[in-house]
Amino acid sequence: MPAVHVINGPNLNLLGSREPDIYGRATLEDIETRLTELCAERGVELVFRQSNHEGDLVDWIQEAGRLGAPIILNAGALTHTSIAIHDAIKGSGAVVVEVHLSNVHARESFRHHSFIAPVARGVIAGFGPTSYFLALEALFDREIRKT
Catalytic residues: 23, 100
* 18 part of the interface to ligand CA2, by CB under 6 A: yes
Cβ closer to ligand CA2: 101 or 139? 101
The closest alpha carbon to 123, from 135, 133, 111, 115, belongs to 135
H helix and E strand count, the chain: 5, 5
* 88 part of the interface to ligand CA2, by CB under 6 A: no
Q: Which of 4, 6, 7, 15 binds ligand CA2 (CB under 6 A)?
A: 15
* 41 part of the interface to ligand CA2, by CB under 6 A: no
C-alpha–C-alpha distance, residues 128 and 126, integer Å = 6
Q: Which of 74, 82, 92, 114 binds ligand CA2 (CB under 6 A)?
A: 74
* 19 part of the interface to ligand CA2, by CB under 6 A: yes
* 76 part of the interface to ligand CA2, by CB under 6 A: yes
Tell me, what DSSP letter sits at residue 9?
-
C-alpha–C-alpha distance, residues 36 and 106, integer Å = 30
| HSE of 51, CA atoms in CB hemisphere, 13 A | 12
C-alpha–C-alpha distance, residues 31 and 90, integer Å = 27
Is the distance from CB of 76 to CB of 102 less than 8 angstroms? no
Residues 99-118 that bind ligand CA2 (CB under 6 A): 100-102, 104, 111
Cβ closer to ligand CA2: 49 or 111? 111
Q: Which residues form the interface with ligand CA2 (CB under 6 A)?
A: 11-12, 14-15, 18-19, 23, 74, 76-77, 79, 100-102, 104, 111
